[in-house]
Amino acid sequence: MHKKKQIILIALVVVLMGVLFVQPIKGLIKHDDDQAEASAAGSNETATETVNLASVSALAKQGVNTNLVDQITDLEAQLSQVEGIKRLPLLQKLAGHWDDLAKPAPLGFSYEEIAQLEPTYDHWLKAGDAFTAAYEQLQDTIIAPALTEHAQRAYQQALDLNPQSMDAKTGLGAAIVNGGGAPMQGIGLLLEVVKADPKNLKANMNLGLFSMRSRQFDKAVDRFKTVVDIQPSAEAWFYLATSYENIGLKADAIKAFQQSKKIAADPSLSQFIDRKIEELSK
């Protein structure tokens, strides 16, 4: 299942690149149409009300093996018959299925309810991490704002239980920025993390992505160089290469793209990188 999750992540890299540049951070890049923002906020509230475990479960079951769908549906039926703490073991089994299938949206809602029944730091953190993975995969969909909001709530609960948690603070900071409501507050949390832990992988990665989105590519380069020093990945090398490209360092961009291709070993991404290298070599 780890390999499956890695393939999904790599396949999304190119898509995420497009999302980065069409969804600038509110506050870092100025918008003048306040009315449009108010309308969008109203739509987000509606989405938050309708996005729940049942709705994301129905979507997640599409394309899944029939036997597994039957097992999940049976667990959901059992859950509808019990209340309170009796739901806990069933929810844990359900979360296990969604985790195995790499379906973060229903996994997040499963852990959220587990955390409500048994409010521990670990449960809230797992809920937040699952919601984060979900909104990262679904950034260009109407349910993304709801998932981002759930991530914020989960990470805040985790941070309340463990105020020293770098993971909870990083997740909360990223979710706040992606939520668009108070981006500088989120950036501030991430900067607190890297001040306390300069080699924090997730915080540096998110700061790099947000620097790209605000077209501060020189800052993005510094963040992604830190990331690949800590834990080289196809994704991080790809973003580093793109940042180099945007500040005119073509030779460095080519080398970084080559590293991304080497690690990814993914045909679709490799083809895209080959085209980029050809363009940069001219």
Classified as helix, coil or strand, 26 is strand
Q: What angle do CA 122, 126, 130 make, to 5 degrees?
A: 175
- Other CB atoms within a 10 A radius of the CB of residue 233 amount to 21
From the CB of residue 268, how many other CB atoms can be counted at a distance below 10 Å?
Answer: 12
Superfamily of domain 175-282: Tetratricopeptide repeat domain (1.25.40.10)
Alpha carbon distance 113, 118 (integer Å) = 8
Query: What is the Cα–Cα distance from 137 to 13, expressed in whole angstroms?
Result: 10
User: Nearest to residue 160, comparing CAs of 124, 189, 186, 134?
Assistant: 124
Q: What is the pTM of this model?
A: 0.81
Tens digits of pLDDT across the chain (282 residues):
444 444 444 444 544 454 444 343 333 333 333 333 333 334 444 455 689 999 999 999 999 999 999 999 999 999 999 999 999 999 999 999 999 999 999 999 999 999 999 999 999 999 999 999 999 998 878 899 999 999 999 999 999 999 999 999 999 999 999 998 789 999 999 999 999 999 999 999 999 999 999 999 999 999 999 999 999 999 999 999 999 999 999 999 999 999 999 998 788 888 999 999 999 998
Interhelix angle 104-117/144-161, nearest 10 degrees: 40
Q: Return the DSSP state at 27.
A: T
Burial 21-39 (b: 16+ CB within 10 A, else e): eeebbbbbeeeeeeeeeee
Q: What is the largest CA-CA distance in the chain?
A: 65
Domain 33-163 CATH (choose: 1.10.1060, 1.25.40, 1.10.10, 1.10.150) = 1.25.40
Question: Do 33-163 and 175-282 agree at the fold level?
Answer: yes
Domain assignments of the chain as residue spans, ordered by start: 33-163, 175-282
> What CA–CA distance (Å, rounded) separates 39 from 25?
17
